Amino acid sequence: MDFNKTRYIPMSRRRRIYEGKAKTLYEGPEPGTLIQHFKDDATAFNAKKHQIIEGKGVLNNRISEYIFQHLNDIGVPTHFIKRLNMREQLIREVEIVPLEVVVRNVAAGSLSQRLGIEEGTQLPRSIIEFYYKNDQLGDPMVSEEHITAFGWATPQEIDDMMALAIRVNDFLTGLFLGVGIRLVDFKMECGRLFENDMMRIIVADEISPDSCRLWDIKSNEKMDKDRFRRDLGGLLEAYTEVAKRLGILVDQDRPAGSGPVLVKS
């Protein structure tokens, strides 16, 4: 398939497949593809808290593109094919495994609360956790016993997801360390890709400051969605700084009221 020749279907004529909290999925130009559209909606605590942050979707589209493209390049399979425009990317259609895979390197958030470990404490090793994706239940943490008993994933798929999670964690830790950012933890989602008679587990969804905890190495300043969850303000500025450090945006002030200034189209 030549994805460079993909026809652009006007938004009004596209079939919407799924409406999430921060993203919408539309039918793609070829069978087996979808278009992932990044919205400006920020939610926390299972959407009890909600706000539109103008420009967030554009930044997450670019940051997630950068991460997924690099993962593809080092042989970590993902659903990402290519970015289409400011807010959209072309992706492979997968069957989403109904689990959130969280990898933690440093204690923070719910781990600190649950186990009484002070935020910022380096963990003895990276810890992988699974949460069942169900907003009504508040995404409860589950064990491998629950996952296999209820058929959300097989033992082999759990192994595959853990292997992917470790590779993604190693890549992201180094990537962010190189630009003065500590990867505290992150969440990823996996999907089943069906190709011919084969099925394999690949990385799906997004990886962005919405789904990671990123702290500045020197100041410990939060550069992620905790700025919104904890009412710290400056979310857009923090995400812009992450993008700039990764070399995605030109280091220049943007005129008030305009969107982020993009270099590459």
Footprint on this chain of ligand TMP (rule: CB under 6 A): 102, 108-111, 139, 185-187, 211-213
Partner that binds at residue 56, options ligand TMP, ligand ASP, none, CB closer than 5 to 8 Å by kind: none
Element (H, E) at 146: helix 144-149
Among 24, 43, 60, 78, binds ligand ASP (CB under 6 A): 43
Q: 33 vs 110, which CB is nearer to ligand TMP?
A: 110
Partner that binds at residue 35, options ligand ASP, ligand TMP, none, CB closer than 5 to 8 Å by kind: none
**Alpha-carbon span 203 to 164, nearest angstrom:** 8
Tokens 């789904």 locate to 211
Q: 84 vs 107, which CB is nearer to ligand TMP?
A: 107
**Alpha-carbon span 227 to 56, nearest angstrom:** 13
Encoded tokens for 233: 């303000």
User: Which 228-247 residues touch ligand ASP, going by CB under 6 A?
Assistant: 229
Per rule CB under 6 A, is residue 44 in the interface with ligand ASP? yes
Specify the stretch interacting with ligand ASP by CB under 6 A; choose among 38-46, 62-70, 116-124, 248-256.
38-46
Per rule CB under 6 A, is residue 64 in the interface with ligand ASP? no
Partner that binds at residue 102, options ligand ASP, ligand TMP, none, CB closer than 5 to 8 Å by kind: ligand TMP
**Nearest to 62, CA basis, from 73, 74, 70:** 70
> Per-residue x/- marks for ligand ASP, 10-29, CB under 6 A?
-----------x--------
Cα distances (angstroms) measured from residue 243 to each of 59, 214, 224, 236, 264: 7, 12, 12, 11, 13
Residues 6+ apart with CB under 8 A from 76: 164, 167, 168, 171, 203
